[in-house]
Structure 1
Amino acid sequence: MSRAETRRAQTQRSARRAPSGRGKPAKGGAGGGKRTGIRRFFTWKTILGTFFGLILLLMAAAIILYFSVDEPTDPNKSATLQSNTYQYADGSVMARTGQMNRENVTIDKIPEDVRTAFIAIENKSFYKDRGIDVMGVARGLFNTVRGKGTAGGSTITQQYVKNYYLTQDQSPTRKLRELVISLKVDQRMEKDDILVGYLNTNFYGRNAYGIQAAAQAFYGVDSDKLTLEQGAYLASVIQAPSQYDLATAGPNGTRLVNIRFNAVLDNMVEMGKLDPAKRKTMTLPPPIKPKPRPGMDGQKGYLIQAANDEMEEQGIKEGEIAAGGWNIVLNIDPKKQKALEEAVNEELESKLDRKDTKNRPQDQSVQAGATSVDPKTGAIVAMYGGQGLTEKSESNALRTDYQPGSTFKPVVLAAALQENATTQDDKPITPNTLYDGTSRRPVKGSKVPFAPQNQDDRNFGDPMITVQGATDFSVNSVYAQMIVDVGPEKVKKTALALGMKDRRGWPDDQPAMALGTMSANTVEMAGVYATFDNHGKKVTPTIIKKAEHKEGKFTPRQAIGAQAISRKSADTVTKVLTGVVNDEGGSGNKVRSSAYEAAGKTGTTEKNVAGWFTGFTPELVTVVAMFGEDPTTHTQVTLTGTAGGGRAGGSTFPAAIWKTYTLAALKGKETAEFELKEADMGASQAPTRSASPTPSTTPSTTPSTSGTPTGSQSPSPTPTKSGSKPPTPTTSPTTSPDPTKTNGPKPPDPFLLYTSPIPRYSSLSLITYYSLKCGGCVG
């Protein structure tokens, strides 16, 4: 076969092998072979198409996600919980209440360099980014793998969103929602608002949520007093609060928090926010030792109770207070508060045996309450509410279920002076006006029969005694007549003007009202006597100095008001009450001291269920009361037998507490004397009276309450000049004149309960009997 024939044969065979209709060889490789299997998908067209397809798919998913995830309208529950902070008048923290130890602050309460410290370690691009930082997330993951803690994976906006709106759950779904909400929050909010929200919602350890609570927990200061170094430590500790707390950290925790602290400062230098030379001088400031969170122990619970009550009276609802976020500064002086608590413990609690129910049953029933007020400002500077909230849930200082007894008598005198009242024989009522001091003498001019007995059923005078003497010795028969002379309705008007409350059961037209048969608490009575001390300008005691809330407003009550009674009337009452303390035999002479000038009045109620001493100096008005309350039934019971003794009235434990407290509260201070230039004692009259009060020997047809104690000290023969101090201070101002030198009988031991037979009431109806029953309200 020739060569030409051979070539034709080969061509024919190749043609037969070629695909039908196609004479072109396949591309790719010798012999025109094609790609098979997975290789045929990896062309540049398929790869490029897939890439752009994924991009479009992700963009579509992002758009759908953005519009499907709404920004929450309400924060999570824990983000809004705050504590209420209560401070003493000097600014020191007394207590924090609430489920969450948090107090939100505004951005101006956080120093700028402290804010920058958090930005430097958490999110250097905070003021430039859009709320998320993809590179930051990647960097955070990388650092987590490496075990480094120099940068976080989330922006400050993301962390704020997580803290404020979401939870600490680490699921992918929560993370996606966090990213979307962060974008929306960044569009809606100012950067400074996001930053302060972040700082207020962080957990810092030591049960501290928010930078204010953290500043107090770690350094004992408010957030606006933080230094840069302290702020840098707080910015460091949030990454691992328990591990990085230097007070409890181990070697590794200490090393790591120091690394992070230095990273904060180095980053600030890098950002141009810190001078490199200054940076070299900075060291980590050790935090203070952890302290238990201030709570409701001791008297704190009662003080908080009083503050909350006052806020509610001013229109702040209970729910608004309970929601937290309040910073409440009280008028309480911590030194005076401590002095009052110590005085109660020393003069009362230390003498009681509350565990010996067999031999000292009465001690279980004793309750004490007290309020101390600055008469110039109306500030409640100290308050005693009881043994503690665990023993008694309501404050004895605020209770109104007991009568004030004879501490009300000065109100009757004030009304008489203010109304220019006269006696039944038209003589003006002044401190020197004479009254019949006979015990059980029926009052004249009253529509309601009343014939009260005096202390220990004694007659005072022969039979006349001055109003000053009747006040010194707390003579019931005189004041029962005086309130009739003035008019009970006018006395009530004066009482309300002085600050007492018109509660249910006020005996409008009853002469027994002179003996304090209405209800009152220690705060009210402190206000009444502070008004006397303040020359008649009304004093409304207030425990709150100021209260602030980010979203609330509170205006403390006006403590000093207008003239309630004239200065002349107020100063005259004060002058008379100095006699109660200074005159020999005065019911309040147990509190007499050369350290101060004082005025005051005792009060003991019917059946000896309550004893009061209300006293004041030019600087301080203090009301001390003790109550008999059955611990099981909460009924009123007698105080007789307290501390294993006898009668326990206003001149006993309350007066002792008052003196001990006042001496401590005024220690080291220059005390003043009363300015009573307008006091008018009236024309001087010498009473015709026997050498000493004598028991009534005239049979009485009017009833009296048998066994009623007085609480007043037994009177001595001759009162000294009203308001004068004893010529020589004694170590025991309670000493009475020697009864053997008088013409009368020896006064009974004031601690012994007086008892007498119950008189027959054959000619009296039960209605009349009960109208006379308060004849036993004495002292």
Structure 2
Amino acid sequence: MGRAEERRARQRGGHRAAPKRRRSAPEAGSASTAGGAPAAGSTAGAGGKPTAGGKPAAGAKPPKSLIRRIFGWKKILGTFFGVCLLGILGFIGLYLYVDVPEGNAAAQRQSNIYKFSDGTILARDGEVNREIVDLSKVPRKVQLTFVAAENKSFYHDAGVDFKGTARGLLNTLSGKGKQGGSTITQQYVKNFYLNQDQTVTRKLKELVISLKVDREKSKDDILAGYINTSYYGRNAYGIQAAAQAYFRVDAEDLSVQQGAYLAALLQAPSQYDWAVAGPTGKKLVTARWNYVLDNMVEEGWLPKAKRDAMHFPKIMEPKGAPGLDGQKGYLVELANQQLEHQLMAEQGLTQSQAEGAVVENGWTITLNVDRKKQAALEKAVKTRLTSKLDKKKRKVDGDIQPGAVSVDPKTGRIVALYGGQNYYEHYYNNATRKDYQPASTFKPVILAAALEHNATTQDGKPITADTLYDGTSRHQVQDHGRKVGFAPPNEDDVDYDDITVQQAMNKSVNSVFAQMGVDVGMDEVMGTANKLGMDTKGMQAVPAQTLGSMGASPLEMAGIYATFANHGNKVTPSIIKSAEQKDRTVDIPDPIGGPVISRTAADTVTSVLTGVVDDGTAKTSVASNPLRDGQQVAGKTGTSDENKSAWFTGYTPDLVTSVGLFGEDPKTKAHVTMRWATGLPAPGRINGGGYPAEIWAAYTFGVTAKAEFDLDTTQGAAVAPTETPSWTHSPSQTPSQTPSSEPPTSEPPSPSHTPSRTPSHTPSQTPSQTPSQTPSSSAPPTDPATEDPLDPDGDLGQLGQ
């Protein structure tokens, strides 16, 4: 370096440049030149301090930020290992502290006690239906179906699924409540040593006890304990009771197909019971059954060729539990179901867990059922119907299944229920089954939808009780000039031409309500039905639904009409008054909810329905009943396609009761016609205004006090039409006529009596079609099933048009 350069270097850095050093041997951290001074462009002076340029010296470490000083990787790693160590020590302490308890699920089971609303005992349901069998009595491949269904690693694991348990703990802490991924050992521990509570403490105990049980017991002992303590539905605990309940065989005689069904059943016993399952339940249990068998093939426990040749097993019809004869079983069954649903809502239990928590678990359940009203309902069914059935004389008499539900509309309490002639003889609850059409009892829902939505006719006129409609039979339904392809016939194909909504309700005129449904909009109609309490999930909003072609139960219809009676406030019928278990009480929701339709709409429907009783299809059986004594009544009859069901749902100001009769083949459970039952004369129809209305009247007028409806409406039965309707035939005013759809009594009429209903305005001319003419003989034809049965409420035919 020359003098000039040296001088410039001193001016820049204040120091003489250091001699250059060899590149092959630089000093650590040095940024100097060979002359010892900072190189040109250097940003650091002597001692590593910043140079005049303000940059740190080369190789100097930048200062650490506050976050990096606090959360350094060493500290994070140390904290993690510290937490793990504490967790391990805590688990070791828990493992040493928790012992395997002495316990036996069967010995801990307690009877459930069911009481009437007045506190008197209705039933005790406490005998545990269980017979312990040794694992050697269960075929090996049947054993493996349970392993394939629940825990394929059962023979290799340590008795716990840490991942599944962790998930269960997180779900519990987050309020979801459901646990998944338990091993067979954990489920056995839960069944035998613990309980179904969904708490963190119980889950931790389950984990520790499962580890200890797996060490102390053999896998065979654990598997035997599991299949002998699990609940399979139908009041069956253990595999032996389940084999008898579902297949009428002993456990040692079970096939692989049957074992796979029982293994699949444990996931949801009631929902998967093939005999009573709906379409969804059958689909799910079939998928679960296939899953079990496919897992067996995957594990090498079942040859694929044998698996491919297997078919879903035949499930035997269920039998009632001991001690629940007569109506007791139906009442207990509904009480259990409603309590299970409440526990599922409160605690997030699965259906299987809820069933296990309720059935024979020491509950004291007080029902809303009134002992006197229950006895009165049973008596009414017997005197008006079942005493006249004789299946030895008439095969069809064995097909008649009655069901009824009675509700207090002010409280929502179910005060009486009729589920069938005997719980032992007919396991299905006719009061809650939803597989039969409600027929014309659905028509008030259409009117309610019209009033609620301020609907208008095609020409813009508001729909009220006095609105005129074309009542011509098979009238093509129009949607603003476009035919919708639906033209239902009226009862006996009678043409009414122009007719008011009130008169159409009285006579159950199909053509009017089919058109009204389109005027309102079928989406709005089905939406209103859902708000009122009908389960419309999966139902199509099509005009055919105006005939009540969907499925519904007496319980649902009672709830809908109770909502009308309660001025539009939602009524969800409840059978449970209180439910207690030891020191625990379950909160039962209030059956009365807020308004789902306006009071004016609800009260107008009630007013219109009084006309059905006073001058319509229920006139003879209800309005003219000598027990009525001036009582105000609203209601609607209904008779389904081919006379497979018949209904009367009616109410007084303080009591709503829905009565349904259903034709069911006792062997196949197929829906069949009820024509000619009890020896009725031709045309042999059981109609809504016949036995159902007679049962209703005999029961209701015996248990209610005289009262009047408090209605907020200017429409209905007491209001004269604003226009005089024109008629196809000149009517003769005969307000006291007998409707053909409902014979005056269930006794055979005189030979001169024609069961065909004459409308309240009797046409002076005979309609072009008179399918209900009286034959020369009152005896049924040789094969009545081949005839085209008549629908007294006009619900017959062309449901798909």
Q: Is the 8 A contact 1:381 1:543 kept in 2?
A: yes
**Number of the residue aligned with 1:576:** 608
CA distance in 1, matches of 2:579, 2:558: 23
What's the secondary structure of 1:431's corresponding residue? coil
Residue identity opposite 2:638 in structure 1: G
**Number of the residue aligned with 1:197:** none
Alignment of structure 1 residues 72-151 onto 2, 5 Å: 73-77=101-105, 79-99=107-127
Distance 1:459 1:587, change over 3 A: farther
Residue identity opposite 1:564 in structure 2: V
Alignment of structure 1 residues 701-740 onto 2, 5 Å: 712-713=741-742
**Number of the residue aligned with 1:333:** 370
**Number of the residue aligned with 2:703:** 665
Residue identity opposite 2:540 in structure 1: P
The CA deviation at 1:323 is 4.2
**Number of the residue aligned with 1:720:** none
CA distance in 1, matches of 2:415, 2:388: 26
**Number of the residue aligned with 1:486:** 520
Q: Is the 8 A contact 1:474 1:712 kept in 2?
A: no
The CA deviation at 1:535 is 0.7
Distance 1:541 1:529, change over 3 A: same
**Number of the residue aligned with 2:478:** 444
CA distance in 2, matches of 1:399, 1:757: 27
CA distance in 2, matches of 1:714, 1:308: 39
Distance 1:773 1:296, change over 3 A: closer
The CA deviation at 1:80 is 1.4
**Number of the residue aligned with 1:321:** 358
**Number of the residue aligned with 2:508:** 474
The CA deviation at 1:589 is 4.3
**Number of the residue aligned with 1:744:** 765
Residue identity opposite 2:114 in structure 1: Y
What's the secondary structure of 2:648's corresponding residue? strand
Q: Is the 8 A contact 1:330 1:546 kept in 2?
A: yes
**Number of the residue aligned with 1:408:** 442
The CA deviation at 1:776 is 5.7
Q: Does 1:558 align with 2:593?
A: no
Q: State the Cα deviation string for residues 682-714 of structure 1 (Å, max 9, x = none).
A: 8722222234499xxxxxxxxxxxxxxx98449
Q: State the Cα deviation string for residues 706-763 of structure 1 (Å, max 9, x = none).
A: xxxx984499xxxxxxxxxxxxxxxxxx99889999623498579989999999xxxx
Q: Is the 8 A contact 2:617 2:689 kept in 1?
A: no
What's the secondary structure of 1:658's corresponding residue? helix
CA distance in 2, matches of 1:545, 1:348: 31
Q: Which has the higher contact order (CA 8 A, sep 6+)?
A: 1
Q: State the Cα deviation string for residues 355-398 of structure 1 (Å, max 9, x = none).
A: 33xxx111011000000000000000000000112211110001
**Number of the residue aligned with 1:542:** 574
Q: State the Cα deviation string for residues 277-308 of structure 1 (Å, max 9, x = none).
A: xxxxxxxxxxxxxxxx9920110000001111
CA distance in 1, matches of 2:641, 2:620: 22
Distance 1:296 1:630, change over 3 A: same
CA distance in 1, matches of 2:446, 2:110: 49
**Number of the residue aligned with 2:467:** 433
Distance 1:656 1:559, change over 3 A: same
CA distance in 1, matches of 2:506, 2:334: 33
**Number of the residue aligned with 1:591:** 622
CA distance in 2, matches of 1:97, 1:409: 41
What's the secondary structure of 1:441's corresponding residue? coil
CA distance in 2, matches of 1:396, 1:693: 42
**Number of the residue aligned with 2:390:** 353
Q: CA RMSD in A?
A: 3.7
Distance 1:364 1:749, change over 3 A: farther
Among 600, 604, 613, the alignment partner of 2:635 is 600
CA distance in 2, matches of 1:468, 1:740: 13
CA distance in 1, matches of 2:564, 2:655: 12
**Number of the residue aligned with 1:305:** 333
**Number of the residue aligned with 1:376:** 410
Structure-2-length-normalised TM-score: 0.54
Residue identity opposite 1:582 in structure 2: D
Distance 1:777 1:339, change over 3 A: farther
CA distance in 1, matches of 2:459, 2:760: 35
Residue identity opposite 2:606 in structure 1: T
Distance 1:294 1:556, change over 3 A: farther
Q: Is the 8 A contact 2:731 2:761 kept in 1?
A: no
**Number of the residue aligned with 2:544:** 512
Q: State the Cα deviation string for residues 147-176 of structure 1 (Å, max 9, x = none).
A: xxxxxxxxxxxxxxxxx99xxxxxxxxxxx
Q: Is the 8 A contact 1:451 1:775 kept in 2?
A: no
What's the secondary structure of 1:637's corresponding residue? coil
Q: Is the 8 A contact 1:512 1:774 kept in 2?
A: no
Alignment of structure 1 residues 448-467 onto 2, 5 Å: 448-460=484-496, 463-467=497-501
**Number of the residue aligned with 2:663:** 628
CA distance in 2, matches of 1:711, 1:74: 70
Q: Is the 8 A contact 2:119 2:366 kept in 1?
A: yes
Q: Is the 8 A contact 1:618 1:672 kept in 2?
A: yes
Distance 1:477 1:326, change over 3 A: same
Bigger Rg, structure 1 or 2: 1
Q: Is the 8 A contact 2:639 2:795 kept in 1?
A: no
Q: Is the 8 A contact 2:402 2:659 kept in 1?
A: yes
Distance 1:343 1:471, change over 3 A: same
Residue identity opposite 1:373 in structure 2: V
Among 676, 680, 684, the alignment partner of 2:715 is 680
CA distance in 2, matches of 1:739, 1:491: 28
Q: State the Cα deviation string for residues 592-613 of structure 1 (Å, max 9, x = none).
A: 1334110100011111100010
Distance 1:750 1:96, change over 3 A: farther
CA distance in 2, matches of 1:680, 1:554: 43
What's the secondary structure of 1:435's corresponding residue? strand
What's the secondary structure of 1:459's corresponding residue? coil
Distance 1:511 1:736, change over 3 A: closer
Residue identity opposite 2:486 in structure 1: F
Distance 1:757 1:636, change over 3 A: closer
Q: How many positions carry a matched residue from both structures?
A: 466
**Number of the residue aligned with 1:64:** none
Structure-1-length-normalised TM-score: 0.55
Residue identity opposite 1:343 in structure 2: A
Distance 1:679 1:494, change over 3 A: farther
Q: State the Cα deviation string for residues 619-654 of structure 1 (Å, max 9, x = none).
A: 100000000011111111001111011000111110
Distance 1:381 1:741, change over 3 A: closer
**Number of the residue aligned with 2:32:** none
CA distance in 2, matches of 1:423, 1:531: 26
**Number of the residue aligned with 2:278:** none
Q: Is the 8 A contact 1:421 1:486 kept in 2?
A: yes
**Number of the residue aligned with 1:613:** 648
What's the secondary structure of 1:685's corresponding residue? coil
What's the secondary structure of 1:314's corresponding residue? helix
Q: Is the 8 A contact 1:538 1:562 kept in 2?
A: yes
**Number of the residue aligned with 2:379:** 342
Identity %: 48
Distance 1:598 1:580, change over 3 A: same
CA distance in 2, matches of 1:523, 1:741: 36
Residue identity opposite 1:591 in structure 2: V
**Number of the residue aligned with 2:208:** none
Q: Is the 8 A contact 1:607 1:776 kept in 2?
A: no
Distance 1:614 1:75, change over 3 A: same
Q: Is the 8 A contact 1:325 1:549 kept in 2?
A: yes
